[in-house]
Amino acid sequence: MEMLIKMHTSDALQQIFDLLHSHYGPLDWWPGDSPFEIMVGAILTQNTNWRNVEKAIDNLQAADLLSLEKMNQQPSESLAEIIRPAGYFTVKAARLLNLCRMLKERWHCDLENFLQQSKDTLREELLMVKGIGPETADSIILYAAEQPVFVVDTYTHRILSRHDIIPEEYDYSEIQETFTDNLEESVSLFNEYHALLVQVGKDFCKKSKPDCESCPLRVLLPAT
DNA sequence: CACCAGGCAAGTA
DNA sequence: TACTTGCATGGT
């Protein structure tokens, strides 16, 4: 009679990180030049392939709109046309302007001061903006403000539940706690870990056609 | 052709 | 509270 002993969560999370890190090495996220560009990218990439986001950001660059003050002066309709390739473009244009308006009215466009708040108040303030939810807020806190929060996305949920490390029905905060309760609180670790999960998700853990045979996590069973 | 991608808010019961 | 639906382009 054979027995399968479930690994402790902290050991599993450490093993996943080690496997991914030795497979991919440092990924140098976030792919954006300034804190403002990172914040814009975080909104544009909501439920959208990053390739499409890059096209939209190129358009914004060409229109010289990658600054808070300039974007804030842009009418919603023309901003929408510029970010069209990112999809959901009317909704996302409004969301970008909601963020710009909050930063102007509450922070007088001083991004540095805004991002230097404690991560908890920063998160509260971001979540008050209509169009910024938990993942977008946490992406901004980790990658623009460089403060230690763990970012959870659909790949994080899919990979951990398929490997039986968390239950399928875990929500955002439960998944986030799984990481923060079992890892040292470190900006560079959280940065790299989320980037690695997204990368391995794109490469091997697509929703309907996973490629578990060649996935670097195949030694952790079960999967698919 | 169908399906999906680094979510979120609003509507329904 | 717990589901469902709209938003939309571009790649496989």
State which residues between 33 and 92 of chain A bring their CB within 7 Å of strand B: 41-42, 45-50, 52, 87-88, 91
- Asked if A144 CB < 7 A from strand B, the reply is no
A35-144: CATH architecture: Orthogonal Bundle (1.10)
List chain A domain ranges.
9-28+151-204, 35-144
Phi, psi of A95 (to 5 degrees): -65, -40
Q: What was the pLDDT predicted at A8?
A: 86
Distance A131 CA to B9 C1' (A): 7
Nucleotide nearest to A32 (CA to C1'): B6
- Asked if A52 CB < 7 A from strand C, the reply is yes
Q: Please give the biggest Cα pair distance in chain A.
A: 70
Please report where in the chains the tokens 């790949």 appear, as a residue: A155
Yes or no: say if A217 and A159 are a contact pair by the CB < 8 Å rule. Answer: yes
Measure CA A206 to chain center. Answer: 17
Q: Using CA atoms, how far apart are residues A139 and A134, in angstroms rounded to an integer? A: 9
Q: Using CA atoms, how far apart are residues A41 and A46, in angstroms rounded to an integer? A: 9
What is the value of pTM for the model shown? 0.96
- Asked if A50 CB < 7 A from strand C, the reply is no
Q: What was the pLDDT predicted at A33?
A: 86
CA of A96: how far to CAs of A27, A84, A89, A173, in Å?
Answer: 27, 13, 10, 24
In sequence order, which residues have a C-beta less than 8 Å from that of residue A79 and are 6 or more positions away? A65, A71, A93, A96, A97
State which residues between 134 and 163 of chain A bring their CB within 7 Å of strand C: none
- pLDDT digit string, tens, across residues A177-192: 999 999 999 999 999 9
Distance A7 CA to C9 C1' (A): 42
In sequence order, which residues have a C-beta less than 8 Å from that of residue A4 and are 6 or more positions away? none
Distance A14 CA to B12 C1' (A): 43
CA angle A157, A162, A164 (to 5 degrees): 100
Q: Using CA atoms, how far apart are residues A117 and A112, in angstroms rounded to an integer? A: 9
Pair of tokens at residue A87: 């999809």
| Ranges of chain A with pLDDT below 70 | 1-4, 6, 221-222, 224
DSSP annotation of A143: I
Distance A80 CA to B5 C1' (A): 20
DSSP annotation of A144: I
CA of A141: how far to CAs of A1, A8, A81, A114, A187, in Å?
Answer: 49, 29, 28, 11, 10
